[in-house]
């Protein structure tokens, strides 16, 4: 999106987000290993923009979406929504205390007053709350998060919604469309009467290009594209700020896919939505995004404004990914980088840079040290020691 928006505080900030899943085995179901699905990810999403998140299967892109919505509790890291730390509402209650201690209280206790200015923005706000509002009382600080936790959680869920990939399994086959969409209205008590609820459902159905009469029908009566419209209507009826679209068009045929992409762009303008658009398909990502983050094995390897990323990708993985996509033009001749081997398992990711076993330009340092995600050009961050060498 435009530069002016970029300078504002981000709508959503993700800091060092980690999500590990345990693997259990044996009769006692002991934890034998961890799947490191997301392993320390930082990014921001600004209001009104579309951030595309692209990567191959198993890279952790869906896990990020699910974690942001509180569908999986994060293992570590923080999520800020308009500057407010929402991690306590994503975690189960019994973990909130240790989270707050780890993230804030222990840091603040060792803090001199003049160091406060140097804290990152997110922490600074809470340092002020901690020292000024709560007079450095850890118990009061923690209680302020625990009070009305359920209500705050619910309010947050209204602001963040998701559209799933598979329009066949994400709609309950025994519910009428009107109830699938209207359920959220009931949960959040947004309608004072049955008629008002009906009207809300009818309005949103029209907005996504369906007839209001469809409210009485069941999911099996609809095609894939229509079902995806229903999924979008269900997400939008709460008037959310942020919509996570998790492979929202991947299951659709080409001719239907472009209809849904256009619809999502129209709705974004009309409702001032912010999208986190997750997809494995770089050409779809290129079409819809303002900025793009490329993931590989639980890490962001490159994040940049769309134009920059597609004109000059700097990470060798981004370069190979782009060159791997078949271009629908037989006259188009290009040099192709074909990667060797498969994506390694996230249970036991390679040492150093996770891409080094498949990287065409890997050197000795790559297997030893992990490259940090650094700004190489304005707005373009890359995690590679030799960024730009392949572009």
Through-space distance between the first and last CA atoms of the chain, rounded to whole angstroms: 24
Compute the least distance from the CB of residue 157 to another protein, in Å.
31
Q: Which of residues 115 and 311 has its CB atom nearest to another protein in the complex?
A: 311
Q: Examine residue 347 and tell whether it contacts another protein (CB under 8 A).
A: no
- Of the candidate residues 71, 216, 327, 361, the single one contacting another protein (CB under 8 A): 327
Q: Examine residue 331 and tell whether it contacts another protein (CB under 8 A).
A: yes
| Distance between CA atoms of residues 158 and 160, nearest Å | 6
Q: Examine residue 166 and tell whether it contacts another protein (CB under 8 A).
A: no
Site for another protein in 35-64 (CB under 8 A): 56-57
Binding mask 1-40 for another protein (x = CB under 8 A): ----------------------------------------
- Of the candidate residues 273, 292, 321, 387, the single one contacting another protein (CB under 8 A): 321
- Of the candidate residues 15, 257, 299, 354, the single one contacting another protein (CB under 8 A): 257
Binding mask 69-108 for another protein (x = CB under 8 A): ----------------------------------------
Q: Which of residues 70 and 167 has its CB atom nearest to another protein in the complex?
A: 167
Q: Examine residue 333 and tell whether it contacts another protein (CB under 8 A).
A: no
| Distance between CA atoms of residues 23 and 29, nearest Å | 9
Site for another protein in 195-254 (CB under 8 A): 223, 225-226, 253-254
- Of the candidate residues 342, 369, 375, 389, the single one contacting another protein (CB under 8 A): 342
Q: Examine residue 314 and tell whether it contacts another protein (CB under 8 A).
A: no
Kindly state the number of chain residues that form the binding site for another protein, as judged by CB under 8 A.
41
Q: Which of residues 189 and 332 has its CB atom nearest to another protein in the complex?
A: 332
- Of the candidate residues 326, 335, 364, 378, the single one contacting another protein (CB under 8 A): 326
Compute the least distance from the CB of residue 122 to another protein, in Å.
34
| Distance between CA atoms of residues 388 and 35, nearest Å | 31
| Distance between CA atoms of residues 198 and 179, nearest Å | 10
Name the one range near another protein by CB under 8 A: 19-27, 153-161, 229-237, 283-291.
Answer: 283-291
Name the one range near another protein by CB under 8 A: 65-73, 175-183, 186-194, 316-324.
Answer: 316-324
- Of the candidate residues 336, 361, 369, 374, the single one contacting another protein (CB under 8 A): 336
- Of the candidate residues 190, 339, 347, 376, the single one contacting another protein (CB under 8 A): 339
3-class SS string, the chain = CCHHHHHCCCCEEEEEEEEEEEEEECCCCEEEEEEEEEEEEEEEECCCCEEEEECCCCCCHHHHHHHHCCCCCCCEEEEEECCEECHHHHCCHHHHHHHHHHHHHHHHHCCCHHHHHHCCHHHHHHHHHHHHHCCCCHHHHHHHHHCCHHHHHHHHHHHEEEECCCCCCCCCCCCCHHHHHHHHHHHCCCCCCHHHHHHHHHHHHHHCCCCHHHHHCCHHHCCHHHHHHHHHHHHHCCCCCEEEEECCCCCCCHHHHHHHHHHHHHHHHHHCCEEEEEECCHHHHHHHCCEEEEEECCEEEEEEEHHHHHHCCCCHHHHHHHHHCCCCCCCCCCCCCCCCCCCCCCCCCCCCCCCCCCCCCCCHHHHHCCCCCEEEECCEEECCCCCCCCC
**By the criterion CB under 8 A, which residues form the site for another protein?**
56-57, 223, 225-226, 253-259, 261-262, 265, 280, 282-284, 286-288, 310, 320-332, 336, 338-339, 342-343
């Amino acid at each position: 999106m435009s530069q002016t928006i970029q300078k504002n505080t981000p709508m959503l900030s993700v800091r060092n987000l980690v999500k590990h899943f345990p693997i259990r085995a044996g009769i006692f179901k002991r934890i034998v290993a961890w799947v490191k699905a997301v392993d320390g990810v930082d990014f921001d999403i600004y209001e009104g923009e579309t951030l595309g998140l692209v990567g191959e299967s198993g890279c952790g892109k869906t896990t990020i979406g699910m974690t942001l919505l509180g569908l999986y509790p994060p293992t570590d890291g923080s999520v800020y929504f308009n500057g407010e730390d929402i991690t306590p509402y994503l975690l189960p209650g019994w973990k909130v205390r240790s989270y707050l201690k780890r993230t804030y209280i222990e840091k603040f206790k060792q803090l001199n007053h003049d160091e406060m200015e140097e804290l990152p923005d997110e922490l600074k706000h809470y340092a002020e709350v901690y020292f000024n509002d709560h007079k450095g009382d850890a118990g009061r600080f923690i209680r302020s998060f625990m009070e009305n936790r359920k209500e705050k959680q619910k309010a947050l869920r209204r602001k963040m919604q998701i559209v799933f990939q598979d329009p066949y399994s994400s709609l309950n086959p025994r519910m009428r469309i009107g109830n699938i969409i209207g359920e959220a209205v009931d949960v959040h008590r947004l309608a004072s009467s049955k008629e008002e609820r009906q009207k809300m459902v009818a309005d949103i159905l029209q907005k996504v290009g369906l007839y209001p009469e469809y409210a009485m029908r069941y999911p099996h009566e609809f095609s894939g594209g229509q079902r995806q419209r229903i999924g979008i209507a269900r997400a939008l009826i709460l008037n959310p700020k942020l919509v996570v679209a998790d492979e929202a068009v991947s299951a659709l045929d080409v001719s239907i896919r472009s209809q849904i992409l256009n619809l999502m762009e129209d709705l974004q303008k009309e409702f001032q939505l912010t999208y986190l658009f997750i997809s494995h398909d770089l050409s779809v990502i290129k079409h819809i995004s303002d900025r793009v983050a490329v993931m590989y094995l639980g890490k962001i390897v490159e994040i940049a404004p769309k134009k920059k990323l597609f004109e000059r990708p700097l990470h060798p993985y981004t370069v190979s990914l782009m060159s791997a996509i078949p271009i629908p033009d037989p006259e188009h001749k290009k040099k192709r980088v074909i990667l060797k081997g498969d994506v390694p398992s996230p249970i036991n990711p390679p040492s150093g840079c996770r891409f080094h076993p498949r990287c065409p330009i890997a050197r000795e340092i790559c297997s030893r040290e992990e490259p940090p995600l650094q700004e190489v050009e304005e707005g373009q961050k890359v995690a590679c020691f030799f960024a730009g060498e392949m572009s």
